[in-house]
């Protein structure tokens, strides 16, 4: 959750200044380059697991209840695309466990999965969440892409090829 808070603070600061936009772009570029796989495949899967949140008493993962998504595109090259997913977890014992991304042609299917921590003193009150999900878009050609997060769909457009040319 520390990384999410950090990213949210950077996004808010970005609104206040161009310098912060450059810092955020560099951070997202670094984060994306360390997590990206080859973009030339027509279908690929990326999984992020929250190992620090997993306990020995966990149950099977389920999809989180996502209520809305927002797509955020940076004005940099390569272009970075993040999805901000907002929703509610059913109780205080349910946590975001992992986020998976699968690409099939021009559709990116994201699953936000949860796990429960039984044995804790839980409240049955729904808990809001906000998850910032960096998409693997390096290597994609210009075009319109659909993003589906746990059933919620939105689109974005790449105006140019997002391919990094390699120097000889």
How far apart are the C-alpha atoms of 152 and 110, rounded to whole Å? 10
Burial of 116 (0-12, 13-18, 19+ CB in 10 A): buried
Tens digit of each residue's pLDDT (9 = 90 or more) over 27-84: 443 344 333 333 333 344 444 444 433 333 344 469 999 999 999 999 999 999 999 9
Average pLDDT over residues 136-165: 96
At 117, the pLDDT band (50, 70, 90 cuts) reads confident
The answer to whether 86 and 65 have CB atoms below 8 angstroms apart is no
- Average pLDDT of the chain is 75
Give SS3 for 100: strand
The answer to whether 44 and 136 have CB atoms below 8 angstroms apart is yes
- Specify the DSSP class assigned to residue 152: E
pTM above threshold 0.85? no
The answer to whether 28 and 78 have CB atoms below 8 angstroms apart is no
How far apart are the C-alpha atoms of 13 and 20, rounded to whole Å? 6
At 120, the pLDDT band (50, 70, 90 cuts) reads confident
């Amino acid at each position: 959750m520390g990384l999410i808070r950090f990213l949210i603070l950077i996004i808010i600061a970005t609104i206040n200044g161009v310098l912060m936009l450059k810092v955020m772009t560099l951070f997202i570029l670094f984060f994306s380059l360390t997590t990206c796989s080859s973009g030339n495949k027509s279908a690929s899967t990326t999984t992020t697991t929250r190992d620090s949140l997993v306990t020995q008493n966990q149950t099977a993962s389920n999809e989180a209840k996502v209520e809305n998504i927002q797509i955020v595109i940076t004005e940099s090259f390569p272009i970075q695309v993040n999805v901000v997913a907002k929703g509610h977890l059913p109780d205080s014992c349910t946590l975001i466990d992992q986020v998976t991304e699968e690409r099939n042609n021009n559709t990116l299917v994201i699953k936000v999965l949860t796990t429960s921590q039984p044995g804790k003193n839980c409240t049955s009150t729904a808990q809001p969440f906000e998850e910032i999900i960096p998409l693997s878009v390096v290597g994609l050609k210009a075009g319109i892409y659909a993003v589906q997060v746990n059933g919620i769909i939105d689109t974005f457009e790449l105006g140019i090829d997002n391919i990094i040319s390699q120097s000889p």
